[in-house]
Structure 1
Amino acid sequence: MSTGAERDRALATYDVIGGPPRRELTALVDLAAQVAGVPFATVNLLSSRHQHQVATAGFQGGTTPCDDAMCRQVVESGQPIMLDDASLDPRFADNPWTTGEIADVKYYGSHPLRTPDGVVIGTLCVFDSEAHQVTDEAARGLSLLADRVVDVLELELASRRLSEVNARLSTSNERLANFAGQVSHDLKNPLTSISLSLEALEMEVTDDYQVDTVARARRGVERMTDMIGNLLDFAAQGEAPGDELVDLATEIELALDDLAGRIDRSLVRVEPLPTVRGDASQLRSVLMNLIDNAAKFTLVGEQPEVEVASVSADGFHRIEVRDRGRGIPEEKTERVFAPLARLDKTVEGSGIGLATCRRIIEAHGGTMGVDPRDGGGSVFWFRLPAVS
């Protein structure tokens, strides 16, 4: 049997008491009245103290004390009651709903409204001021419609929760955009200084190896500047990516070139990668971030061991970056993609990288996640539509 406190909590969750009647509930009580062949029907919700008629057919609903409610018997027992003439039933003979004090109920049918958690919060009730026979069809119809009442409440609850999630997501995106604006100055100024220094150095060096090294460094700075600009614009505005053909094999080489000071190229084994549609700079930044993370989270005292591979199926390319690092507990595999989340604060970083990566991939029409790797480590992956 459901307690009053349990009903109060469930009803507070559904948030259906006190507002105007829900159109869907009104339609259901109208149908219930037709199925039973009676003029009156209602959705009764019982809190610990009151009965609330939140949708009615044939009369104006209201709120009455629980002690007077005929449907209290159904809620407390969890069993339906169907009666040809409720005034002849000992349970209701002195009830103000049958004596004429409130109403003159004769025919009475009431079915419990049970939530998915098993709490009976009220009833779908049909009644008439005249007695007549209860039919099997009416009993079955009332049972089915009672389930639909709960479905409506659950659907509205799910919709409201989705709206709340969307609001939180919007707030997270605003935080991401604010963060992007705050760090843009700090990111771009050092790159400008480095670029100017490399330009001056390029005019001084004459050794072929040094000239090549400086030129590579300048190209890296230029790509980094371009990448930061694109990422900051994306984080701040959420613009859709481009629709150019992007050779991921080329982008991974550029990414490894830019990561040369953080991970030795020989420690990254790259299998053939496909061509996809999108923004080359953004997709390169995703590859860079995943490879850089694989290097950062390598176990102390060990060399990074990274594999980049692609598997194609069902119209999608799945790109995998596999490492032999510390791994991620299963219960935290989604948290790593939350904006500003940092599971391991001993490793440098802002916690913005994976959140931005997922946002980029989703904007490209794909998905992103992480799985444990057999033998230890993690497999970060993203799926992108194959080029048609």
Structure 2
Amino acid sequence: MKTPEIPLNEFSRLKALKEYSILDTLPEKEYDDITQLASQICGTPISSISLIDEKRQWFKSKVGLDVDQTGRDVSFCGHAIMEPDQIFTVKDSRLDERFQDNPLVVGDPQVVFYTGVPLVSPDGFALGTLCVIDDKPKELNRDQMMALKALSNQVVSLFELRKSKIQLERLTKDLENRNKELEKFARVAAHDIKSPLNNISGLTDILLHQYGEELDEEAKSMMLMLDDSSQTLRELVDGILEHSKSDHIVKENRQVFSLNKLIDQCVKLLDNRQEYRFIKDFDDTLIAVNKVALQQILLNLMGNAIKYNDKSEVEIRICFKEDPTFYCFKVQDNGLGIEEKYQKAIFDIFETVAQKDRFGKKGSGIGLSTVKKLVEGLGGSIQVKSIIGEGTTFEFSIAKQDFL
């Protein structure tokens, strides 16, 4: 008997094999179907998907074998992997000095005929074989050999799919951990930044009230500018924190609620002095969606409709309809409008178009990015249509699902 040689690239070959994390895994139907098919096509009682590690050949799938592994030193597959680009065939092992006294030949399972197709990774490493075995001399025809080669390619494809899935799971877990760290950082940073900003704003207010008469107009103007800058920075921090939390908002449970009541709640939050005209262009209905996410979307779009409006009478129309698949919304205003060349960019984070809003403040460019993130997280999409001087319409959809 001749013991199989060790490939020159053995270290890299074993590394490639272990990257698939497939050794000692449970049986899987996809692999068992391939070995069954190999036996049927080749007319052999035994077939296997064999993987060669440091000291053994381990069977991922097998037909006609009672053991899960054998020693590498007695394996036929150990010889087969030495020539990755060749199909290894032994027509009668009893006449071959390499195998005639091999324990697998003289004892069970009495391997007389063997053909193994190396399972070669995309990087060229022979991981093992797809092999067929008989206890009497045999020779495969050309069609059988081609079929066996095609089946071996399918085995490698399954290995690659497995590795891709493992890599994706690791990447997903890594991203989840990074997101958690980023959210924690955002909360800490928001607190650490807002605390001194609140102090600045508070001190500015005290100075203006207690010492206002002693300050000249230029000093008062600078104090007001300082207070305004502090408020702007606080709003920016809040916006970033809100954006970072949007993924968690989407994951919250959905609930059934009245759309009319939700719109009323939004209006009260945005217009407690009843300065603006809101039109609800829909019949009240119960909907089943993530209420927190929808409220966040509507507050942002309705708030923008107020802020970026130059009309003496601000008019905002909220429309709703549904089809079998989606809830569809429109938020229309009679405001400034958005030039067509900017209509895509407004959904990018930190992108702003208007220099200042109705109240003389510059936007942060975070709100619409958060809206888009929430809408897409709810399985929908958002578009904008606008005419300069006439107004803007935001249309968005939310995917329906069975309510549990």
- TM-score of the pair, normalised by structure 1: 0.61
Structure 2 CA distance, aligned partners of 1:211 and 1:284?
37
What is the DSSP-based 3-state SS (H/G/I as helix, E as strand, rest coil) of the residue aligned with 2:117?
strand
The change in CA–CA distance for 1:285 and 1:209 in structure 2 (over 3 A counts) is farther
Structure 2 CA distance, aligned partners of 1:134 and 1:86?
15
Partner of 1:243: 297
Q: CA deviation at 1:160?
A: 0.9
Q: Which amino acid aligns with 1:229?
A: D
Q: CA deviation at 1:226?
A: 3.1
Structure 2 CA distance, aligned partners of 1:286 and 1:358?
8
Pairwise mapping of residues 188-207 of structure 1 onto structure 2 (< 5 A)?
188-201=194-207, 203=209, 204=212
Structure 2 CA distance, aligned partners of 1:251 and 1:142?
69
Partner of 1:144: 150
Q: Which amino acid aligns with 2:116?
A: S
Partner of 2:159: 153
What is the DSSP-based 3-state SS (H/G/I as helix, E as strand, rest coil) of the residue aligned with 1:77?
coil
Partner of 1:316: none
Structure 2 CA distance, aligned partners of 1:238 and 1:112?
48
Structure 1 CA distance, aligned partners of 2:82 and 2:93?
18
Structure 1 CA distance, aligned partners of 2:48 and 2:167?
27
Q: Residue 247 of structure 1 contacts residue 275 of structure 1 at CA under 8 Å; is this kept in 2?
A: no
Structure 2 CA distance, aligned partners of 1:102 and 1:158?
38
Q: Where does structure 1 lack aligned partners over 5 or more consecutive residues?
A: 253-269, 278-282, 289-307, 310-356, 367-383
Q: CA deviation at 1:198?
A: 3.4
What is the DSSP-based 3-state SS (H/G/I as helix, E as strand, rest coil) of the residue aligned with 1:243?
helix
Q: CA deviation at 1:364?
A: 6.4
Q: Residue 113 of structure 1 contacts residue 147 of structure 1 at CA under 8 Å; is this kept in 2?
A: yes
Q: 2:88 aligns with which of 78, 81, 93?
A: 81
Q: CA deviation at 1:83?
A: 4.7
Structure 2 CA distance, aligned partners of 1:284 and 1:198?
34
Partner of 2:176: 170
Q: Residue 92 of structure 2 contacts residue 138 of structure 2 at CA under 8 Å; is this kept in 1?
A: yes
The change in CA–CA distance for 1:102 and 1:187 in structure 2 (over 3 A counts) is same
Structure 1 range deviating more: 179-188 or 156-165: 179-188
Partner of 2:233: 224
CA RMSD of aligned residues (A): 4.1
The change in CA–CA distance for 1:251 and 1:81 in structure 2 (over 3 A counts) is farther
The change in CA–CA distance for 1:55 and 1:202 in structure 2 (over 3 A counts) is same
Pairwise mapping of residues 204-219 of structure 1 onto structure 2 (< 5 A)?
204=212, 217-219=226-228
Q: Residue 43 of structure 1 contacts residue 124 of structure 1 at CA under 8 Å; is this kept in 2?
A: yes
Structure 2 CA distance, aligned partners of 1:53 and 1:157?
18
Is 1:111 aligned to 2:120, yes or no? Answer: no
Q: CA deviation at 1:123?
A: 0.5
Number of residue pairs aligned between Structure 1 and Structure 2:
285
Structure 2 CA distance, aligned partners of 1:358 and 1:86?
70
The change in CA–CA distance for 1:246 and 1:217 in structure 2 (over 3 A counts) is farther
Partner of 1:4: 10
Q: CA deviation at 1:11?
A: 2.2
Q: CA deviation at 1:215?
A: 5.0
Is 1:92 aligned to 2:146, yes or no? Answer: no
Identity %: 24
Q: Which amino acid aligns with 2:43?
A: G
Q: Which amino acid aligns with 2:133?
A: F
Q: Residue 113 of structure 1 contacts residue 150 of structure 1 at CA under 8 Å; is this kept in 2?
A: yes
What is the DSSP-based 3-state SS (H/G/I as helix, E as strand, rest coil) of the residue aligned with 1:64?
strand
Q: Which amino acid aligns with 2:244?
A: A
Structure 2 CA distance, aligned partners of 1:103 and 1:285?
67
The change in CA–CA distance for 1:275 and 1:20 in structure 2 (over 3 A counts) is closer
Q: Which has the larger radius of gyration?
A: 2
Q: CA deviation at 1:149?
A: 1.1
Partner of 2:342: 273
Q: Residue 74 of structure 1 contacts residue 80 of structure 1 at CA under 8 Å; is this kept in 2?
A: yes
Deviations 1:131-154 (A, max 9, x none): 444122211111011111111112
